Structure 1
Amino acid sequence: MSIDVDRFDHIAVITINRPKARNALDPAHNTALGAAVAEFEADPNLYVAVLTGAGTVAFSAGADLKTLLPEYQSKVRAGESPTWNFGGFTTIDRAKPIIAAVNGHALAGGCEMALACDIRLASPNATIGLAETKWAIIPGAGGTVRLPRTVPLGLAMEMILTGDPIDAAEALRVGLVNRIVPIEKLLSVAVDMAQVIASRGPLAVKAARASILESKSLPERAAMENEFNHFLSVVRTDDAAEGFSAFSEKRNPQYLGK
Structure 2
Amino acid sequence: MGGDPTAGGGAPHVVRQAPADAAPAPGSRVSYTVRDGVADVRLDRPDKRNALDPAMFAGLVQAGERLRDDPAVRAVVLSGNGRSFCAGLDVAAFEAMTTGEHTRPEEAGSSAGPARSLGQRAAHVWTELAVPVIAALHGHAYGGGLQIALGADIRLAAPDTRLSVMEIAWGLVPDMTGTQVLPELVGRDVAMELTLTGRVLDGVEAARLGLLTRVEADPLTAAQALAAEIAGKNPDAVRDAKRLVNLAGRTGLAEGFAAEQAAIRRLIGSPNQVEAVHAQQSSRAPRFTDPV
* TM-score, scaled to structure 2: 0.79
Residue 62 (structure 1) aligned to one of 64, 70, 88: 88
Q: Do residues 74 (structure 1) and 100 (structure 2) align?
A: no
Determine the C-alpha separation between the residues in 1 that align with 2:72 and 2:241.
19
Determine the C-alpha separation between the residues in 2 that align with 1:225 and 1:206.
17
Aligned residue in 2 for 1:14: 41
Determine the C-alpha separation between the residues in 1 that align with 2:210 and 2:52.
26
Residue 263 (structure 2) aligned to one of 230, 249, 252: 230
Aligned residue in 2 for 1:30: 57
Which has the higher mean CA deviation after the structures are superposed, 97-106 or 36-45?
36-45
Distance 1:226 1:124, change over 3 A: same
Matches for 1:176-187 after TM superposition, within 5 Å: 176-182=211-217, 185-187=218-220
Shift of 1:164: 1.7
| Residues 120 and 175 in structure 2, CA contact (< 8 A), matched pair in contact too | no
Shift of 1:63: 2.5
| Residues 155 and 213 in structure 2, CA contact (< 8 A), matched pair in contact too | yes
Shift of 1:186: 2.3
Residue 251 (structure 1) aligned to one of 284, 287, 290: 284
| Residues 6 and 12 in structure 1, CA contact (< 8 A), matched pair in contact too | yes
Q: Do residues 40 (structure 1) and 67 (structure 2) align?
A: yes
Q: Do residues 148 (structure 1) and 174 (structure 2) align?
A: no
Give the partner amino acid of 1:74: T
Aligned residue in 2 for 1:170: 205
Determine the C-alpha separation between the residues in 1 that align with 2:249 and 2:88.
26
Shift of 1:35: 1.7
Shift of 1:11: 0.9
| Residues 37 and 88 in structure 1, CA contact (< 8 A), matched pair in contact too | no
Structure 2 spans left out of the alignment, 5+ residues:
1-27, 109-115
Q: What is the DSSP-based 3-state SS (H/G/I as helix, E as strand, rest coil) of the residue aligned with 1:170? A: helix
Specify which structure has the higher proportion of helix.
Answer: 1
Q: Deviations over 1:79-134 (max 9, x none)?
A: x5453344834234221211000012111111111111011100122122211122
Distance 1:251 1:72, change over 3 A: farther
Q: Do residues 88 (structure 1) and 121 (structure 2) align?
A: yes
Determine the C-alpha separation between the residues in 1 that align with 2:262 and 2:122.
26
Aligned residue in 1 for 2:229: 196
| Residues 37 and 87 in structure 1, CA contact (< 8 A), matched pair in contact too | no
Shift of 1:72: 9.6
| Residues 132 and 163 in structure 1, CA contact (< 8 A), matched pair in contact too | yes
| Residues 33 and 87 in structure 1, CA contact (< 8 A), matched pair in contact too | no
Determine the C-alpha separation between the residues in 1 that align with 2:73 and 2:79.
17
Q: Do residues 49 (structure 1) and 76 (structure 2) align?
A: yes
Structure 1 spans left out of the alignment, 5+ residues:
none
Aligned residue in 1 for 2:25: none
Shift of 1:60: 0.6
RMSD over aligned CA atoms reads 2.3
Residue 156 (structure 2) aligned to one of 121, 137, 140: 121
Determine the C-alpha separation between the residues in 1 that align with 2:120 and 2:104.
18
Shift of 1:73: 5.0
Q: Deviations over 1:157-212 (max 9, x none)?
A: 10011122311110111222122122xx3211110110000000111111100001
Q: Deviations over 1:201-256 (max 9, x none)?
A: 11111110000101221122321112222222222521011112222333322111
Determine the C-alpha separation between the residues in 2 that align with 1:44 and 1:221.
30
Determine the C-alpha separation between the residues in 2 that align with 1:217 and 1:53.
30
Determine the C-alpha separation between the residues in 1 that align with 2:172 and 2:62.
26
Which has the higher mean CA deviation after the structures are superposed, 201-210 or 166-175?
166-175
Determine the C-alpha separation between the residues in 2 that align with 1:205 and 1:72.
45
* TM-score, scaled to structure 1: 0.89
Shift of 1:19: 2.0
Count of residue pairs brought into register by the alignment:
252
Determine the C-alpha separation between the residues in 2 that align with 1:121 and 1:213.
19
